Structure 1
Amino acid sequence: MKVLLLSGDYVEDYELYAPLKALEMLGIDVHVVCPDKKAGDVIATALHTVEGFQTYSERPGHPFTLTHTFADINLDDYAGLVVPGGRFPEYQRYDQKVLDLVKHFFDKDLPVAAICHGLQILAAAGVLKGRECSAFPMCKLDVEAGGAKYIEFEAFSLNAHVEGNLVTAPAYPAIGVWLKEFIALLGVKVQL
């Protein structure tokens, strides 16, 4: 099974590495791509924390080497899509190639896991109309402008919301629950 993980410069570090490693642990082949970059290119990641200021702060994360070339992917090869957060969604939501990629997964009703600011891309792609989803609280207006009902969780809660093929969560503390739901949507059974 292959899953596509969309990324870009200043993706949230935890929201890239945690799903990548968890899915790899289950034997899922994860292809990490970024528009206009190729396999072997390095992207910057960022660590976001709330420190009592009016917004979160940002620190450098771990550099990440892309596993695949965006221009070479065949969307029909993938069973699902992961859209992390960070700052990359704010600029990639203007890239028509990214929006078309997202629409493909929704048109095929394939599992999609989006977290934090990743919902900005889904809203821009027009795939949230009439749906329910969560996101980082500062993305509530994006979600509602995209036609969805915003499901409110505290920013650092351990909650995820599932509706049809879409699982969403507000931020990285919910990664465990979010991934558990995504893995279930993929039909992967985990036995202990």
Structure 2
Amino acid sequence: MKVLLLAGDYIEDYELYAPLKALEMLDIDVHVVCPDKKAGDVIQTALHIVEGWQTYSERPGHPFELTHTFSEIKLEDYSGLIVPGGRFPEYQRYDQRVLDVISRFFTDNKPVAAICHGLQLLSAAGVLKGRSCSAFPMCKLDVVAGGGKYVDYEAFSKNVHVDGNLVSAPAYPAIGVWMREFVKLLGVEIHF
């Protein structure tokens, strides 16, 4: 099974590495791509930390070497899509190629996992109309402007929202439950 993960400079470090490693553990092949970059190119991740200020702070995270080339992907090869957050969604939402990728997964009704600021991309792609989802609180207006219903959670760590093929969560503390629900939508069964 193959899953596509959209990425770009200043993607949230945890929201890239944690899903990648969780899915690798389940023997799911994750292809990480970024527009205008190829396999082997490096993107810079960021750590976004809530420290009591009016907004989060940002520090450089771990550099990441892309696994595949964006221009060479074949969407029919993938069983699902992951759309992390960080800062890359705010500039990639103007890239029609990225929006077309997202739209295709919704058209094909394949599982999509979006978290935090990743919902900005879904809103820009026009796939939130009539859907409910969670996102980072500062993205509520993006969700509503995209025709979606924003689901608010006071605590980030255990909250995940599922609406059809869409699994969403407010921020990286919910990665565990977010991935659990995505894996269920992929049809992967885990036996202990």
TM-score band, normalised by shorter chain: over 0.9
Aligned length: 192
Q: Which amino acid aligns with 2:175?
A: I
Deviation track 1:55-92 (CA, whole Å, cap 9, x = no partner) reads 00001100000000000000000000000000000000
2:119 maps to 119
Distance 1:154 1:115 in 2: 15
Unaligned segments of structure 1, at least 5 residues:
none
1:173 maps to 173
Q: Does 2:3 match 1:6?
A: no
Q: CA deviation at 1:158?
A: 1.6
Unaligned segments of structure 2, at least 5 residues:
none
1:154 maps to 154
2:91 maps to 91
Q: How does 1:18-167 map to 2 (within 5 A)?
A: 18-154=18-154, 156-167=156-167
Percent of pairs identical after alignment? 78
Q: Secondary structure at the match of 2:52?
A: coil
Q: Which amino acid aligns with 2:4?
A: L
Checking the alignment, whether the CA contact within 8 Å between 1:155 and 1:171 is kept in structure 2 is: no
Q: Which amino acid aligns with 2:142?
A: D
Q: Secondary structure at the match of 1:53?
A: coil
Q: Which amino acid aligns with 1:111?
A: P
Q: CA deviation at 1:154?
A: 2.5
4+ runs deviating over 2 angstroms = 154-157
Distance 1:73 1:89 in 2: 19
Q: TM-score, normalised by structure 2?
A: 0.99
Q: TM-score, normalised by structure 1?
A: 0.99
Checking the alignment, whether the CA contact within 8 Å between 1:136 and 1:155 is kept in structure 2 is: no
